[in-house]
């Protein structure tokens, strides 16, 4: 009994000790330890990720405000392993009050709660870059913002208080800035600069391909300037915001929606908060769930919500609307590829819209073949999601999987089992979706949804068929040209020989007949 008591006290003490250590973890503390989850795992990738976050935001902001984007990136080296990154855009700018939270607080943004196609989704990108800069150099993020021609510009220097996940303003002044509107962000960070595969310059080049309406420039640390002027002055069609489609909805989300809706009745909740639910269908759902159509949504208990979801799952809904999607288009994809790759054949395909888990998406594929492209190497695969190039985790991406699973031999290319086809070829695949299913928060690879894989394969196969047709025609022409060159080589010799065999025949007749043979071979 004595022993049991002392054991109980020990356990109690242990629990009390533990209680002292148990406390909330702020999101910034979490990502300070897990910054690799956001794409900041090494100096090379961190630089790329920072620029990607800044440029993606600049392009999103410009397009939302119907402005043709003009985005400048500059990288300056300060010490062996430190660089200053500057990203400047001509977008609508950010109002003064919002600047600290946008750049100094993780999970703060305008895109997470709306369902429409945009590059950013999570509200974490640019503040994570600021956090990485602060962690590696202790320097603040510096921001200039101007929202209109006759408005003042503001300059901010911010730190991020990681324990609270709140911004700390270290400098805030009104300045003059010759620009009409836009944002300029500057961060200093530990980084590594390198050219070639998965580099910043590759990212900018690929961004230009998927965004032919944008003018982009990059100044590298050695002062080299790369410029990508826009290929079109036509802004992409603005994707419309949509409501969730009932096919994809999960119980937890449904419960939250029931709690936060302004709708007064269950029937109007269903028709107002979801796309493709009409009043007839919503009545049927209520009946199926044994609930009154005019019950108050906030009063629906958990079990009733479960019944509601089951009744929704039994209904057939029309596919979600697709005006929330903005594909690049076959014509512009080809135009961009022509600008960046010196090939001899180009083709592109935009597939009709399809749906995964209730989210609409469209797949586009394009191929550039031949010309100056490298011959005996696996084809280069360029992956895009909502016009953003994906540079990492190629093998884990469903785009790569779909390219590998396509049978390229039938289009006249070499391919060994389970590999990327070999040849002078660039294969581009773009997924445009209201919500891109990435395999992780760093947004590097597309998850393996069967519906997505199927659509990518169909798009790639169609491009493959165009290429196969072109290659067969090439082959035929080459064959005919070779035959003709043989004839041209041997006809004079045959003529001479015939003259000897048939000395009485007039040479003009011999040469006339041979000429006819040659002409026929040309046809
Ligand atoms: N250059 C900019 N011009 C105008 N608004 C901007 C700019 N950069 C960021 N914003 C605003 O700040 C918000 C936060 O940006 P942030 O990059 O952190 O998240 P996000 O783009 O919403 O999502 P993600 O984490 O996927 O990038 C954006 O949603 C946008 O409203
Ligand atoms: Mg962003």
Nearest ligand, measured from the Cα of 129:
1
Residue 324 belongs to some domain of the structure: no
Residue 61 belongs to domain spanning = 29-228
Nearest ligand, measured from the Cα of 108:
1
Element at 368 (helix H, strand E):
strand 359-369
Whether 150 and 198 map to the same domain: the answer is: yes
In ligand 1, the atom with minimum distance to the C-alpha of 182 is 3
Residue 240 belongs to some domain of the structure: no
Whether 369 and 506 map to the same domain: the answer is: no
Using CA atoms, how far apart are residues 263 and 273, in angstroms rounded to an integer? 8
CA 221 – ligand 1 centroid, Å: 26
Whether 99 and 143 map to the same domain: the answer is: yes
pLDDT in tens, the chain (523 residues): 555 656 778 888 989 999 999 988 888 888 888 889 899 999 999 999 999 999 999 999 999 999 999 999 999 999 999 999 999 999 999 999 999 999 999 989 988 888 889 999 888 999 999 999 999 999 999 999 999 999 999 999 999 999 999 999 999 999 999 999 999 999 999 999 999 999 999 999 999 999 999 999 999 999 999 999 999 999 999 999 888 888 878 899 899 999 999 999 999 999 999 989 999 999 999 999 999 999 999 999 999 999 999 999 999 988 888 788 999 999 999 999 999 999 999 999 999 988 888 788 999 999 999 999 999 999 999 999 999 999 999 999 999 999 999 999 999 999 998 999 999 999 999 999 998 999 988 899 999 999 999 999 999 999 999 999 999 999 888 877 777 777 777 777 777 777 777 766 665 666 666 667 666 656 5
Whether 338 and 461 map to the same domain: the answer is: yes
Minimum CA distance residue for ligand 1 atom 22: 123
Where helices occur in 343-449 by DSSP H, the ranges are 398-405
Indicate the residue among 455, 471, 487 that finishes a domain: 471
Which residues' Cβ are closer than 6 Å to ligand 1? 53, 57-58, 61, 89, 91, 94, 102, 109-111, 120-127, 183
Total domain count, the chain = 4
Whether 174 and 269 map to the same domain: the answer is: no
Strand ranges of the sheet holding 215-219, from the earlier edge strand across to the other edge: 166-175, 153-161, 141-146, 182-190, 82-89, 70-79, 215-219, 225-228
| 8 Å CB contact between 355 and 276 | no
Whether 340 and 463 map to the same domain: the answer is: yes
Whether 490 and 392 map to the same domain: the answer is: no
Whether 375 and 295 map to the same domain: the answer is: no
Using CA atoms, how far apart are residues 195 and 200, in angstroms rounded to an integer? 7
CA 421 – ligand 1 centroid, Å: 38
Scanning the structure block, which residue is given the tokens 């209109």?
Answer: 148
Residue 323 belongs to some domain of the structure: no
Indicate the residue among 168, 202, 228 that finishes a domain: 228
| 8 Å CB contact between 448 and 398 | yes
| 8 Å CB contact between 407 and 401 | no
């Amino acid at each position: 009994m004595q022993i049991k008591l002392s054991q109980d006290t020990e356990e109690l003490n242990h629990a009390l000790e533990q209680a002292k250590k148990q406390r909330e973890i702020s999101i910034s503390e979490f990502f300070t330890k897990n910054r690799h989850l956001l794409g900041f795992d090494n100096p090379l990738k961190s630089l790329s990720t920072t620029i990607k976050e800044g440029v993606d935001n600049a392009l999103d902001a410009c397009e939302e405000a119907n402005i043709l984007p003009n985005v400048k990136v500059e990288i300056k080296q300060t010490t062996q392993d430190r660089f200053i990154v500057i990203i400047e855009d001509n977008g609508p700018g950010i109002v003064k009050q919002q600047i600290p939270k946008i750049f100094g607080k993780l999970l703060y943004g305008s895109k997470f709660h709306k369902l429409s196609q945009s590059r950013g989704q999570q509200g974490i990108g640019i503040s994570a870059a600021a956090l990485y800069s602060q962690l590696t150099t202790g320097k603040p993020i510096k921001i200039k913002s101007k929202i209109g021609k006759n408005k003042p510009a503001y300059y901010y220097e911010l730190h991020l208080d990681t324990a609270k996940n709140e911004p700390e303003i270290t400098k805030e002044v009104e300045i003059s800035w010759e620009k009409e509107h836009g944002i300029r962000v500057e961060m200093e960070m530990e980084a590594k600069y390198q050219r070639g595969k998965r580099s910043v310059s590759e990212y900018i080049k690929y961004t230009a391909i998927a965004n032919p309406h944008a003018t982009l420039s990059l100044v590298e640390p050695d002062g080299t300037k790369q410029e990508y002027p826009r290929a079109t002055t036509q802004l992409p069609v603005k994707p419309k915001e949509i409501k969730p489609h009932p096919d994809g909805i999960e119980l937890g989300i449904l419960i939250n929606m029931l709690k936060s809706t302004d709708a007064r009745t269950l029937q109007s909740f269903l028709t107002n908060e979801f796309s493709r639910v009409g009043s007839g269908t919503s009545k049927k759902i209520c009946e199926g769930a044994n609930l009154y159509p005019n019950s108050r949504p906030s009063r629906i208990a958990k079990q009733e919500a479960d019944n509601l979801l089951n009744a929704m799952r039994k209904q057939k809904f029309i596919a979600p609307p697709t005006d929330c999607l903005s594909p690049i288009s076959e014509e512009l994809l080809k135009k961009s590829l022509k600008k960046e790759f010196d090939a001899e054949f180009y083709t592109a395909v935009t597939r009709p819209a399809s749906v995964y888990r209730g989210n609409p998406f469209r797949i586009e594929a394009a191929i550039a073949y031949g010309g100056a492209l490298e011959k005996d190497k696996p084809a280069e695969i360029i992956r895009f999601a909502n016009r953003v190039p994906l540079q990492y985790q190629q093998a884990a991406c469903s785009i790569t999987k779909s390219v590998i699973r396509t049978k390229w031999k039938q289009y006249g290319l070499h391919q060994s089992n389970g590999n990327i086809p070999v040849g002078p070829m660039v294969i581009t695949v773009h997924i445009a979706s209201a919500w891109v299913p990435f395999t992780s928060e760093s947004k590097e690879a597309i998850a393996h949804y069967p519906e997505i894989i199927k659509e990518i394969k169909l798009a790639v196969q169609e491009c493959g068929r165009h290429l196969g047709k072109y290659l067969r025609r090439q082959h035929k022409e080459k064959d005919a040209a070779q035959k003709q060159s043989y004839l041209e080589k041997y006809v004079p010799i045959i003529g001479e020989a015939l003259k000897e065999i048939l000395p009485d025949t007039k040479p003009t007749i011999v040469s006339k007949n041979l000429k006819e043979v040659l002409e026929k071979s040309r046809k």
